[in-house]
Structure 1
Amino acid sequence: MNLEQNLTDALSQSPEGKAEEAWPADAHLHQPPEETQLLLAERSSCLSVKTYLGMCGLPIVERISNNAEFMSPGGRLTRLPLLRLGPVKTVAEFEPIVAQAEAMQGGQALDSWMSEDQRDNVRSLVNYVENVFTLAEIHMSFVDEVNYQRYTATRSGAAYPWPLSFLRRRAKKKEALRILKVYQWEDQNNDQVLHEVGVCADTLMGQMEQNEPEEHYFCGSRLCALDALVFGHVATILTTALPNMELAEVLTAYPCLLAHCWHIDQLVYGGKILGCEKEPEVLE
């Protein structure tokens, strides 16, 4: 079965087998400009959401908005991307957007084929993976001094002239350090952060080991929210040219994760995100 047919089958797994009409045709997804403003954790969140909505076959209009973060109704970690559904309803960040999409799709939801226990397991993994990867990305962006000075600082204030750019950089760093403190990551050094990412990757590998060899996704042959989330983070880390690439180096030690991302990239984006025509080799 080819990848295109696999996606078609995954999107049609519901008792009714028909599309949900409640999703508006003019749903707008807002984010700042990727080339000049999006930070590592923000880019991961935006890519994860776009991948999930693409897997669901839900149409969106992408909007580039310098003030997307301030338009956001809030969130735990990045406040981005912002999904606007009609003139009033707005939702931000991966998990709330997934919950909203599931509620609007009903029996057409991406995970409608799962048992309740499977859904609970996936939700727990999504929350864990989102926390670890996002906190690691925030740490490597704001605490690692080389990354901060040569990557994060310039992007943090890029939308504003001086002195507003200086004030915005300082506010962004203060907020990042606050988030790290809330999750008790403020005293972590780089080695500890990379270790946490490795433990998370090991957990994901344990999930994949339950699959048959021909099953490419975390829950077997069918897609779920965890596939979109992991792809968003791993693909972003691998394709963001940070001065310190230690985070990407950790992930390259997990060829099964790289192969998973290759399949998602081919399936949803036609290979345009990773720019890799050949599937990474997975050693037994």
Structure 2
Amino acid sequence: MNLEQNLTAALMQSQSLGKEAAAEEEAWPAEAHLHQPPEESQLLLPERSSCLAVKTYLRMCGLPFSERISENAEFMSPGGRLTHLPLLRLGPVRTFAEFEPIVAQVEAMQAGSSLGSWMTQDQRDDVRCLVGHVENVFTLAEIHMSFVDAVNYQRYTAPRTGQPHPWPLSVMRRITRQREAQRLLKVYQWQEMDHDQVLHEVGLCADALVAQLEESQEAKEEGAGFLCGSRPCALDALVFGHVAAILTTQMPNMELAAILGTYPRLLAHCRRIDGRLFEGKLLSVEEQLEYPE
């Protein structure tokens, strides 16, 4: 069997397993806990974005969960591709971390009643691709601005990464986290980018999201639509999580927030979600922050 046949067989097996998982709809457990470190003292921007995106998604799904503040949440995590947070514990045993794995698990459990069940299979595949792209661009930009920008690292990132540990463990932990961030940026070929290139990538992603919004809203007969139609989907939750976190996280260098501030349609979309799910309290903090000219 050649490589192409192997890939085809693997794809067919994956699709078959996905259909079987969708057919077995599970009940949402009575105990669902979302763990994250303390936001005021430990949580970094990329982690806060991921945590907020997951909270938004679960609220959009109407699924009950309790929020748990755990200083060792990152060590409780089963792992992940980018941030390892938040950690979702379903029942006494099962744990999942980061936005995409949590969404995949919720979709498998909810099957025909999931948030994106109104879409066709092709539309759901498109949303997964968009989610992966947006997650990469925004998270890598946030990691770059947190660990590579010297001022942000010294005044924001380093104190938070070392905060829960005594000296000299705090110093060792800061060094480890910085190396992990640099290694991750290298994997995605972002380590050599300067600030202007990072901001350019974010701008391109924001342009694409605005175009997606405009296309979706033009296709609707009335009212304001979401990113992929008249109903919300995982992409709306992810975008809101990143945009809201970037706009409301006070850092020495607020260039990411300043770039997003030039996209009023995208901000209006996020404020609409904020009003529906968080009573407009999250983005009200934005008015108190100062962005560079």
- Asked if Structure 1 and Structure 2 have the same fold, meaning a TM-score greater than 0.5 normalized by the shorter chain, the answer is yes
**Aligned 1:100-139 pairs, distance under 5 A:** 100-139=105-144
Q: CA deviation at 1:86?
A: 1.2
Quickly say closer, same or farther: Cα 1:150–1:277, change in 2 above 3 A: closer
Query: C-alpha offsets along residues 107-153 of structure 1, whole Å, 9 cap, x if unaligned?
Result: 11000000111111111100000000000000000000010001000
Provide TM-score, normalisation by structure 2.
0.86
2:3 equivalent in structure 1: none
Query: C-alpha offsets along residues 5-37 of structure 1, whole Å, 9 cap, x if unaligned?
Result: xxxxxxxxxxxxxxx761101111110000000
Out of 163, 166, 189, which is 1:161 matched to? 166
1:253 equivalent in structure 2: 262
Q: CA deviation at 1:42?
A: 0.2
**Aligned 1:74-113 pairs, distance under 5 A:** 74-113=79-118
Q: Is contact 1:51-1:228 (8 Å) kept? A: yes
Q: Is contact 2:248-2:285 (8 Å) kept? A: no
Within 2, Cα distance between the matches of 1:212 and 1:147? 37
2:51 equivalent in structure 1: 46
Within 1, Cα distance between the matches of 2:279 and 2:257? 22
Aligned: 1:264 with 2:273: yes
Q: Aligned AA for 2:230?
A: S
Within 2, Cα distance between the matches of 1:75 and 1:277? 30
Query: C-alpha offsets along residues 89-117 of structure 1, whole Å, 9 cap, x if unaligned?
Result: 11000000000000011111000000111
Within 1, Cα distance between the matches of 2:128 and 2:118? 15
Within 1, Cα distance between the matches of 2:286 and 2:98? 30
**Aligned 1:163-178 pairs, distance under 5 A:** 163-178=168-183
- Give the gaps of 5 or more residues in structure 1: 1-19, 279-284
Q: Aligned AA for 2:258?
A: E
Q: CA deviation at 1:212?
A: 2.9
1:11 equivalent in structure 2: none
SS in 1 for 2:283: coil
Q: Is contact 1:216-1:263 (8 Å) kept? A: no
1:16 equivalent in structure 2: none
Q: Is contact 1:262-1:276 (8 Å) kept? A: no
Give the root-mean-square deviation of aligned CA atoms. 1.4
Q: Is contact 1:157-1:165 (8 Å) kept? A: yes
Within 2, Cα distance between the matches of 1:76 and 1:21? 26
2:284 equivalent in structure 1: 275
Q: Is contact 1:136-1:193 (8 Å) kept? A: yes
Compare CA radii of gyration and give the structure with the larger one: 2
**Aligned 1:57-72 pairs, distance under 5 A:** 57-72=62-77
Q: CA deviation at 1:87?
A: 1.4
Within 2, Cα distance between the matches of 1:215 and 1:114? 18
**Runs of 4+ displaced beyond 6 Å:** none
Q: CA deviation at 1:211?
A: 2.4
2:232 equivalent in structure 1: 223
Within 1, Cα distance between the matches of 2:26 and 2:174? 42
Comparing 64-73 with 212-221, greater Cα deviation is found at 212-221
